[in-house]
Structure 1
Amino acid sequence: AAEGKAVAAVENATEADKLRSQLAAAKEETAGAVARADAAQGLVVAADEKAMSAEKATAEAKRDLALKAKELATAERNTAAAKEDAATAAKRASEADQVAAAAEKRAGLAATELSAATEGLARLKESAKSLQARLTVAENASEAAEQRALASDEKAVLACDKAAAAEGRAAEAAGKAAAAEGKAVAAVENATEADKLRSQLAAAKEETAGAVARADAAQGLVVAADEKAMSAEKATAEAKRDLALKAKELATAERNTAAAKEDAATAAKRASEADQVAAAAEKRAGLAATELSAATEGLARLKESAKSLQARLTVAENASEAAEQRALASDEKAVLACDKAAAAEGRAAEAAGKAAAAEGKAV
């Protein structure tokens, strides 16, 4: 029995040694698993840090994208305002064109009236020449009529000179009004509307799972964390590309806005110049109208003077006719006297002949 117990004890000791060796192997495996779990935990922490860094970069990209979107909206508003300014300037330029056209029309009417006045002056000059010729004839008959005709002639010459001067000034004003052809060029719209930001950056943030205590699931968590980090980096790169594109679009919109503002300023300047030209044309047309009115008044005075000259000429012609009649009567009397003298000379010659005959007889 003691030997059996001893054999059993030896067997138990052998079994215990086996169990001890198995326990040591199990402890070593457990230590390796713990080490692998610690390494996996470190990888998980690194992956979390990488994911947090990617999330931070994504958030910054979102903020930059929001700022650029705000700036792009401001640029679009500025572009719209510049277009409105350009449209207003184009409208003002069109109104200035209309005013200039009206001024040109008024200048044309003034030129027509001045032409009619010039023709009237020419007719008056011809009439004055005729009156002068007739007055010259009347001057031979009556000295008083000559003096009055000379005074009237001087007045007519002065009136003609004034009318000719008014005609010259009106012609000059018509030429200046015809030269006022400044037209404003409609402002050219170069601004292009930037495309509105419609797409939003997809959120690249995903929650990273907490560290798992189990060693078997650690590697899978590390792989998942790496995939999430790669996805976050990819989303961040896409966000940066979108941000660069939007920044480029914003710069283009700002350039277009600046060009539109320059075009609007140029159009406003041209409209202002057209307004000034139209105002000058209106002023010249007013001066031409004033000179035309003065010329019209001068024509009226010349007509009155011509009527007065005509009346004086009629009186002078009547006096001349009376003088001619008296001269004719005097001529008739002189002819009768000449006839009587010729008869007396005939009788005297006859008497002389008789006396000569008597003298001959006496001899």
Structure 2
Amino acid sequence: MYSLRELEVSLGERSYPIYIEGGLLKSSGILLRQVSRTDKILLVSNPTVFALYGRKVQEAMEKQGFSVSVALMPDGEQYKNQEEAFKVLDQAVEAQLERSSLVLALGGGVVGDLAGLVAALYQRGIDYVQIPTTLLSQVDSSVGGKVAINHPQGKNLIGAFHQPRMVIIDYLTLATLDKREYKSGLAEVVKYGIIHDINFFDYLESHAEAIKAQEAGSLEKIIYESCRIKSEVVAKDERETGLRAILNLGHTFGHSLEKLGNYSRLRHGEAVAMGTIAASFLAREKNYLTVDELERIIKLYRCLGIPIRWPDFEPPAIYEGMLNDKKVINHKLRLVLPRGIGNFVLSEDISREELLAAIRQAQNSL
């Protein structure tokens, strides 16, 4: 019924495949056995996802001879923290994981980021596999090896680059995804079209209704194309020394919004969408975008049902939060801005006044 699509993240000895197919969870044990001879797996998930898919994945693993221990963390960005990471590390120790053992992340971006960091830390680094179950994690966070937890002063400040051995994407898991969470994931999909591929942006415009309706063909297309673009970028710049920074479109604004909302008021994708709108207004002021291109970007978000109305946080507080972002270099913010649709520019010559003006435009113009 569904076709298996395969991509590779080309990183030499650290290369790994991405498998995309509806119903793929049932074959996850077979796929894992291709890359691991271990007996021990620590399956990290949250209660919501585990109740839906945990037993299915566990059985798929056990059929292939894996012994599976389960570690559950609470559901929510606010739990992507040091306390929860060390709880999972304690469970890895209790399960007597070895250097050859494997961590399996089953869930969204919070689970994937925390489980990946646990794998990077345990015994100085063991293998892990991503089975993302949200759209945002399927198109973004599960690919590329950026694993992290949050710090009270900023998002993802404690982390590592630790590539997975494999990414297994079963887009049928999106059928049980909260509508708000699905729309949040679409914000990361739109990002790829804005900064990298105008043809993909055109596809999103022309298939907005099918994408909103989660039609299988459109789901497979947007997940595949998003993973393809991210894989190409990561292969050229694994540790974000240059090109990979383009994937942070809207994130510097967005991370500040998430923090001000205590990581609970806004979903990650919502904050990224709002941040991208501010970046687009800034790009328009710098003549990187035309008025028509800015309007196309705003219209696409609206057609896909992605929330872009900013909360009423004070602009100076948003700006101060941005200064704690990882993209600050020599006390200067480096921002990704759209350059037309399908291209980008990295800019470090942005004043505080310009940023505050862009924030106010984003707050007041929508």
TM range (shorter): under 0.3
**Bigger relative CO (Cα 8 Å, ≥ 6 apart):** 1
Q: TM-score, normalised by structure 2?
A: 0.14
Structure with greater Cα Rg: 1
| Higher helix proportion | 1
| Higher strand proportion | 2
Q: TM-score, normalised by structure 1?
A: 0.14
